[in-house]
């Protein structure tokens, strides 16, 4: 039986699928299984090995392997969902391979995003951490809502302009630290520490570190360790940013108070 | 009353993180409910056992089971439910505090915070494993209900 799908095309498409999934924050085991499902549906014996930094796709009949380089990205779970929907349709035979290819290309280039105002609202709500309910005062939590928005915006805007990794997180931390310390110095806020912890919730890599342990438990040790180290360094740059921000604020307060 | 406030705030937190991480719109509500129920479970267990391991472990089991169920019902990958609903539980704040003490050169709090981070992350991860084991027991029953609506997913 002649297979209508050429091997090279299939491998290239699978590589793209894997790349989108990995950069959008899917787990490696999920990436591998999705790619292998697509291969099986196209009647090829495909094997895929994914780590967090690279993706290998190849068929088992021959020796060539397709290598895709991946960089760690932000979460964009809607892309994960769309790819999943498409691959499921393909596996169930509702769309053919050409349609799948077109859809994948579209998803790759499409900017799927909520609007800025929605995201700002989201960042604000996340900044009111349930962890601190009844520990911090309500006024502090209300302030954290706004400080968190500024921190998130700072990190996002810095991330767009500065390509050096980890600087964006540091900027976010700096803004949060500066604002919280300033609020306390002026006398509006009761505890800068509570505001900082609460307002950093959208920035800190807590979910990343939990996912990394889920990967380790799943025996994807390399990806898990890479994610964990990345999360620790992000937290470190946030911490450094906050320290800089608060000390800048106390420096300013000293200078102004000295006059 | 207090439980209700905790429920509402954690619901908002989860939906907010869903907005930041771009989850598909149809999973915002199930993720929000999963996240807030998990937080309430965490809160209730915390009243009985004021440690780190048991509350987080229980909350992870709640997220794991509810997340898998809603993944089947709403046909989304399960990670899309997990990521936003974890946001109020994860040790992000503690990890930050640890790295801040590290920046300031204070060794004792650094090691304590980092150790707490490790404990919480591991209890959450183990909770998920246990939840998935439980879920595969109840999956056939769930599938029977779902197949009446449509064919099952491979999630």
- Residue A45: what pLDDT? 83
Residue of B4, B15, B93 for testing the chain A interface, max A β-carbons within 10 Å: B93
Confidence at residue A207, expressed as pLDDT on a 0 to 100 scale: 82
Residue A133: beta bridge partners? none
Q: How many domains does chain A have?
A: 2
Q: Is residue A145 part of a domain?
A: yes
Q: Quick check: B112 pLDDT over 90?
A: yes
How far apart CA A13 and CA B132 sit, in angstroms, is 31
**Do A120 and A104 share a domain, yes or no?**
no
Domain regions of chain B by residue span: 2-147
pLDDT digits (tens, 9 = 90+) for A122-173: 888 888 877 777 777 788 888 888 888 988 888 888 888 887 878 888 899 9
| Residues in chain B within 8 Å Cβ distance of A27 | 79
Same domain for A122 and A215, yes or no, is yes
Name the average pLDDT for chain B. 86
Inform me whether the pLDDT recorded for B153 exceeds 60.
no
pLDDT band at A258, cuts 50/70/90? low
Contact A211 B18 (CB under 8 A): no
Same domain, A18 and A83: yes
A15, A57 Cβ separation under 8 angstroms: yes
Q: Indicate the pLDDT class of residue A211, thresholds 50, 70 and 90.
A: confident
Which pLDDT belongs to residue A32?
A: 86
B136-B142-B147-B153 Cα dihedral, nearest 10 degrees: -40
Cβ–Cβ contact A93 with B under 8 A: no
Q: Which residue has the higher pLDDT, A121 or B149?
A: A121
Predicted confidence at residue A1, as pLDDT, reads 42
Q: DSSP E strands: which ranges in A82-206?
A: none
Query: Among residues 199-238 of chain A, which lie with CB inside 8 Å of chain B?
Result: 200-202, 204-207, 209-214, 216-217, 231-232, 235-236, 238
Q: What is the pTM of this model?
A: 0.83
Rounded distance between C-alpha atoms, residue A234 and residue A238, angstroms: 6
Scanning the structure block, which residue is given the tokens 């994807």? A220
User: Is residue B108's pLDDT more than 90?
Assistant: yes
How would you write chain B as a 3-class SS string? CHHHHHHHHHHHHHHHHHHHCCCCHHHHHHHHHHHHHHHHHHHHHHHHCCCCHHHHHHHHHHHHHHHHHHHHHHCCCHHHHHHHHCCCCCCHHHHHHHHHHHHHCCHHHHHHHHHHHHHHHHHHHHHHHHHHHHHHHHHHHHHHHHHCCCCCCCC
DSSP state of A60: S
Q: Which of A61-65, A207-211, B19-23 has the lowest mean pLDDT?
A: A61-65
User: Which pLDDT value is given to residue A3?
Assistant: 63
To which residue do tokens 């879920």 refer? B135
Residue A199 to residues A193, A227, B93, Cα–Cα distance (Å): 10, 23, 10
pLDDT tens digit sequence for A194-209: 888 888 888 888 888 8
Asked if residue A149 and residue A45 are part of one domain, the reply reads no
Contact B124 A112 (CB under 8 A): no
**Mean pLDDT computed over every residue of chain A:** 83
Query: According to the model, what pLDDT value does residue B150 have?
Result: 60
Q: Do B76 and A84 touch (CB under 8 A)?
A: yes
Query: Is the domain of A99 the same as that of A171?
Result: no
Tell me the shortest Cα–Cα distance from A157 to chain B, in angstroms: 14
The helix/strand/coil state of A51 is coil
State which of A109, A126, A149 marks the end of a domain: A109
Across the interface, do B100 and A131 touch by the CB < 8 Å criterion?
A: no
Instruction: Look up the domain containing A129 and give its range.
Output: 116-258
Please list the residues that pair with A59 across neighbouring strands.
Answer: A46
Distance between CA A228 and CA A220 in Å, rounded?
Answer: 12
Q: Which residues of A79-94 are buried (b: 16+ CB within 10 A; e: fewer)?
A: bbbbbbbbbbebbeee
**B153 against B69, higher pLDDT:** B69
Rounded Cα distance, A227 and B148, in Å: 40
pLDDT tens figures, A80-131: 888 888 888 888 888 888 888 888 888 888 776 777 888 888 888 888 877 7
CB contacts of B98 in chain A (<8 Å) are 235, 239
What is the per-residue pLDDT for B110? 92
Residue from A23, A33, A77, A247 whose CB has the most chain B CBs within 10 Å, to mutate? A77
Query: Cβ A125–B16 below 8 Å, yes or no?
Result: yes
Q: CB of A27 within 8 Å of any CB in chain B?
A: yes
* CB within 8 Å: B121 and A212: yes
Rg (CA), chain B: 17
In a domain, A224, yes or no: yes
Average pLDDT over residues B62-91: 87
- The pLDDT assigned to A119 comes to 84
Q: Tell me the pLDDT band of B155, cut-offs 50, 70 and 90.
A: very low
> What ipTM score was computed for the predicted complex, to two decimals?
0.80
- Taken in order B98, A236, A152, A230, the sign of the CA dihedral is negative
Contact A216 B10 (CB under 8 A): no
Domain boundary at A59, A82, A109, which? Answer: A109
| Boundary residue ending a domain (A89, A109, A129) | A109
């Amino acid at each position: 039986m002649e297979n209508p799908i050429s091997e090279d095309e299939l491998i290239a498409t699978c590589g793209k699928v894997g790349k989108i999934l990995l950069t959008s924050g899917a787990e490696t085991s999920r990436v591998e299984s999705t790619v292998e499902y697509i291969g099986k549906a196209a009647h090829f014996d495909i094997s895929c090995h994914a780590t967090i930094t690279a993706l290998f796709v190849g068929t088992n009949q021959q020796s060539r392997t397709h290598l895709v380089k991946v960089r760690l990205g932000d979460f964009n779970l809607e892309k994960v969902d769309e790819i999943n929907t498409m691959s499921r349709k393909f596996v169930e035979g509702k769309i053919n391979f050409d349609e799948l290819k077109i859809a994948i290309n579209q998803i790759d280039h499409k900017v799927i995003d909520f609007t800025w105002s929605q995201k700002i609202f989201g960042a604000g709500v996340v900044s009111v951490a349930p962890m601190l309910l009844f520990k911090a005062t309500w006024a502090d939590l209300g302030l954290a809502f706004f400080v968190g928005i500024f921190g998130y915006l700072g990190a996002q805007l810095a991330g767009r302009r500065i390509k050096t990794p980890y600087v964006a997180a540091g900027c976010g931390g700096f803004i949060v630290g500066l604002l919280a310390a300033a609020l306390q110095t002026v006398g509006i806020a009761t505890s800068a520490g509570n505001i900082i912890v609460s307002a950093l919730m959208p920035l800190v890599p807590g979910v990343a570190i939990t996912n990394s342990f889920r990967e380790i438990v799943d025996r994807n040790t390399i990806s898990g360790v890479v994610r964990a180290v990345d999360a620790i360094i992000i937290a470190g740059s946030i911490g450094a940013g906050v320290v800089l921000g608060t000390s800048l604020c106390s420096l300013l307060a000293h200078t102004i108070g000295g006059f | 009353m207090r439980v209700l406030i905790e429920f509402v705030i954690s619901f908002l937190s989860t939906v907010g993180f869903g907005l930041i991480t771009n989850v598909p719109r149809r999973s915002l509500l199930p993720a929000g409910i999963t996240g807030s129920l998990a937080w309430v479970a965490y809160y209730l267990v915390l009243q009985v056992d004021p440690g780190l391991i048991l509350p987080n472990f229980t909350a992870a089991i709640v997220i794991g089971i509810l997340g898998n169920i809603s993944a089947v019902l709403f046909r989304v990958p399960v990670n899309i439910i997990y990521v936003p609903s974890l946001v109020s539980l994860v040790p992000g704040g503690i990890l930050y505090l640890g790295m801040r003490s590290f920046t300031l050169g204070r060794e004792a709090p650094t090691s304590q915070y980092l150790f707490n981070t490790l404990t919480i992350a591991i209890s959450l991860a183990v909770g998920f494993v246990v939840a998935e084991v439980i879920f595969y027991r109840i999956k056939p029953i769930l599938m029977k209900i779902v197949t009446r609506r449509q064919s099952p997913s491979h999630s």
